[in-house]
A and B are shown apart, each in its own frame.
Chain A
Amino acid sequence: KQEVTQIPAALSVPEGENLVLNCSFTDSAIYNLQWFRQDPGKGLTSLLLIQSSQREQTSGRLNASLDKSSGRSTLYIAASQPGDSATYLCAVRPITRGSTLGRLYFGRGTQLTVWP
């Protein structure tokens, strides 16, 4: 069974810092990996999706990398802002025989606080 772990569980930084959030997964047989943002009491907003054949994806100040063979992904946030404060979730979609829809397995998330 796929297990997803995110480190650190919480992070508090001053505005302007560059950040790295880590995600690891136990089974490297994945279709893709998706990073989400979750604000308190709210839904999941998709940030980036990396296919298994890709090494990284970028969107604005966000850059996600994937090292499938070692079971790791990182989310890099450049020049952090107070508005970035949220919980960041990593989820992987394993390659599953017999199912084409592919459930996601989530980590617990990293709770980020950026203070001004």
Chain B
Amino acid sequence: DAKTTQPNSMESNEEEPVHLPCNHSTISGTDYIHWYRQLPSQGPEYVIHGLTSNVNNRMASLAIAEDRKSSTLILHRATLRDAAVYYCILRDVTSYDKVIFGPGTSLSVIP
């Protein structure tokens, strides 16, 4: 089973910020938090990942709770091209354990 839970769907208005939540209450100290997104009819693509500290890149920001039991992917200004399914997963890099994807959050962006 996936180690993360996410809302099934969310909506956002175009050009507004989007906060996509992910719960991972059983996270271990060596689990990295990864986010991916899948545009319609395409393969998943990497968005961002982090361990403890908040992370920023050109695509998004990742805010990690102090207890690491939850995280939030932040898209600063949603565009129509951001409409996709967003997946939050955990990766234990000490064991290279099998990585299970959950159903993700389907994000709709309203013009």
Please determine whether chains A and B interact with each other in the same assembly: no
